[in-house]
């Protein structure tokens, strides 16, 4: 049975979108990954699109979504380090990844956050 993972952030425009993408890349058919935000921006940050395109992933196929649009029943819910602004979503397992929001970082900083997300997603998938 597929593992269901939800990545949550406030705007659902950067970190949670990249985490969803990496879960799909690294997990393949064994994973159903999605992401959502408590106050979604309604768009994917163009820099997230750019930096995922460097790895061959088309983030323009994603949409910035509200948690209200997501149906529950998750094996894991991961918040992206947004502190108490991240809502509680029921799941078998919860993690908070204290990651800086890359939207105001320079290119090297953005790529560093992207690579950290990739690494953490791989670790998460291996442990589910």
- pLDDT tens-digit profile of 12-23? 999 999 999 999
Dump the DSSP string for 64-113. --BGGG----BSEEEE-S-GGGSPP--BS-EEE-----GGGS-HHHHHHH
Spot the catalytic one: 82, 99, 117, 121: 82
**86: annotated active-site residue:** yes
**82: annotated active-site residue:** yes
Domains, the chain, ordered by start: 3-127 (3.40.50.2300)
Q: Give the integer Cα–Cα distance in Å for 71 and 63.
A: 16
Spot the catalytic one: 5, 6, 8, 9: 9
Spot the catalytic one: 18, 31, 77, 86: 86
**34: annotated active-site residue:** no
- pLDDT tens-digit profile of 66-100? 998 988 889 999 999 876 566 667 888 999 999 99
């Amino acid at each position: 049975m597929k593992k269901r993972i939800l990545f949550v952030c406030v705007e659902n425009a950067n970190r949670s979108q990249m985490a969803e993408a990496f879960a799909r890349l690294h997990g393949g058919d064994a994973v159903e990954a999605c992401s959502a935000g408590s106050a979604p921006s309604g768009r994917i940050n163009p820099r997230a699109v750019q930096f995922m395109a460097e790895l061959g992933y088309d983030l323009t196929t994603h949409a910035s979504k509200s948690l209200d649009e997501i149906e529950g029943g998750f094996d894991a819910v991961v918040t992206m380090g947004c502190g108490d602004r991240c809502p509680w979503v029921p799941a078998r397992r919860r993690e908070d990844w204290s990651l800086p929001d890359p939207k105001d970082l320079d290119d090297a900083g953005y790529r560093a956050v992207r690579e950290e997300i990739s690494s953490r997603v791989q670790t998460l998938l291996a442990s589910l």
